[in-house]
Amino acid sequence: MAKVKLDGVRKVYPNGVEAVEPCHVDIPDGELVVLVGPSGCGKSTLLRMVAGLEEITDGTLHIGDTVMNDVEPANRNIAMVFQNYALYPHMTVAKNMGYGLKNRGLPKTEIAQKVAEAAKMLNLEDYLNRRPSQLSGGQRQRVAMGRAIVRSPELFLFDEPLSNLDAKLRNQMRIEIRALQQRLGVTAMYVTHDQVEAMTLADRIIVLNAGRIEQIGTPAEIYSQPASTFVASFMGAPPMNIFTGTSDGQQATLDGGLSLNGAGAPSQTGKIQIGIRPEDVALDPSGPLPFEVDIVEELGAHRLLHGQLSGQPFSVSLNKDEPASTGPTKIALKPGAVHFFDAEAGRRL
């Protein structure tokens, strides 16, 4: 078990592309941190630098109390689960799980015992003599997890481990991973592009965009206090509505002339961006804001209304019990529904 500390860690490829800008992250012992962002944002590169598969250009990486920058992956006491499982196709499940231990020179009986323990934990006992090709996707993923567990590492690294599974299995494995990580109490870093996975798994989330850390926080913080328009629109489905508008220091006004009375305003005046989550809105015939509904989308548990607010596109998410139809209606904002961001950089105000 160990804490992880990234101090100004940065990655520049030989062709001059800066894949990861200098970043500072502290991960306390036993925490599960999810790195999330769109493809190409540098989240995998960051993870691979921690694993030692990618060289660190600048900065220092601590795992526990040791600087790990130049330590071989095998000696970092980590375990990694890959997207395509990366199981050795010619080895049985038991050999796959025990290979790392064998390379460490552990005696055979001890390896067998550890493999048996892990297999029991993962319900793989009946499959120990099978080859990976004879297993289903979910079972292969479990073997990959088993290979990580038997090493009793200080740090788990997951690189999009669930993206090759179908939706149902993904939900199930997500819960298993979370339960396992908590039971073992091992620090973990988990890369995904799926914001639902990030929200449900994480103790804390790191949102990355274009090689830069946009925000670090608990899922609740990320959701309720997004640090930028990028985070606001990336986390949450459907995404937050972002309007352009102005502020006079007292009151914010959407472009199109609609004023948000009582929603407060940032101290910064001039052009701003205004964000409202689709869930933070209620239909209210006596509400202050006129909303023109164009389309109603049925999602079962929810209903999405797409339309225009002050001439700008706007979506509202309603509970299935609330009636909805197209046409003009009025809405009211729930308290704290309005987020303000600056106009250019999109940082929270």
Partner 1 sequence: MADITESRIAAQSTAHPAKRIKWEAVGDHAILIAGALLMLVPVYMIFASSSWNDITLHREGLQFGFSDDMANNYNAALFEYGGFTDSVNGVTMLANSLILGIGFAIGKIIVGMMAAYAIVYFRLRFATLAFWMIFTTLLLPLEVRILPSYEVITWMNLGNTYTGLIVPLIASATATFFFRQFFMSVPEELIEAARIDGAGPVKFFIDILVPLSQTMIAAMFIIMFVFGWNQYLWPTLITTDESLFTLVRGIRQIMQAYSDGSTTPEYGEAAALAIIAMTPPVLVVVFFQSWFVKGLTESDK
Options 3-11, 67-75, 173-181, 256-264: segment touching partner 1 (CB under 8 A): 67-75
Q: Which of 140, 303 has the CB closer to partner 1?
A: 140
Those residues whose C-beta lies under 8 Å from the C-beta of residue 110, and which sit 6 or more positions away, are 101
Sheet with strand 187-192: strands edge to edge: 78-81, 155-159, 187-192, 32-36, 204-209, 212-217
Assess 51 for contact with partner 1 (CB under 8 A).
yes
Nearer to partner 1, 134 or 172 (CB): 134
For residues 215 and 217, give the distance between their C-alpha atoms in angstroms, rounded to a whole number. 6
Which H, E and C letters describe 199-235, residue by residue? HHHCCEEEEEECCEEEEEECHHHHHHCCCEHHHHHHC
Residue number with CB closer to partner 1 (181 or 215): 181
| Binders in 20-49 for partner 1, by CB under 8 A | none
**Binder to partner 1 among 99, 164, 218, 279 (CB under 8 A)?**
99
* N residues, the chain: 349
> Quick check: 227 and 214 in contact, CB under 8 A?
yes
Q: Is 13 in the site for partner 1 (CB under 8 A)?
A: no
Does residue 15 interact with partner 1 by CB under 8 A?
A: no
174-213 residues in contact with partner 1 (CB under 8 A) are none
Taking the complex as a whole, the smallest distance from the CB of residue 193 to partner 1 amounts, in Å, to 17
Among 14, 16, 89, 257, which residue sits at the site for partner 1 (rule: CB under 8 A)? 89
Residue span 114-153 as binding mask against partner 1, x where in contact by CB under 8 A, dash where not: -----------------xxx-------------x------
- Considering only residues 28, 88, 271, 334, which one is a binding residue for partner 1 as defined by CB under 8 A? 88
Are 90 and 96 spatial neighbours (Cβ–Cβ below 8 Å)?
A: no
Q: Which is nearer to partner 1, 14 or 257 (CB)?
A: 14
Interface with partner 1 (CB under 8 A), residue from 1, 13, 38, 84 = 84
Whether residue 73 has a cis bond before it, omega within 30° of 0: no
Size of interface with partner 1, in residues (CB under 8 A): 26
Interface with partner 1 (CB under 8 A), residue from 22, 30, 59, 73:
73
Q: What is each CA distance from 315 to 9, 70, 291, in whole angstroms?
A: 39, 50, 10
How far apart CA 277 and CA 237 sit, in angstroms, is: 9
246 binds partner 1 (CB under 8 A): no
Name residue 273's beta-bridge partners: 244, 341
Q: Which is nearer to partner 1, 147 or 348 (CB)?
A: 147
Radius of gyration of the chain (CA): 24
Contact 43, 212 (CB under 8 A): no
Please give the residue ranges that form the binding site for partner 1 (CB under 8 A): 51-53, 72-75, 78-80, 82-84, 86-90, 99-100, 103-104, 131-133, 147
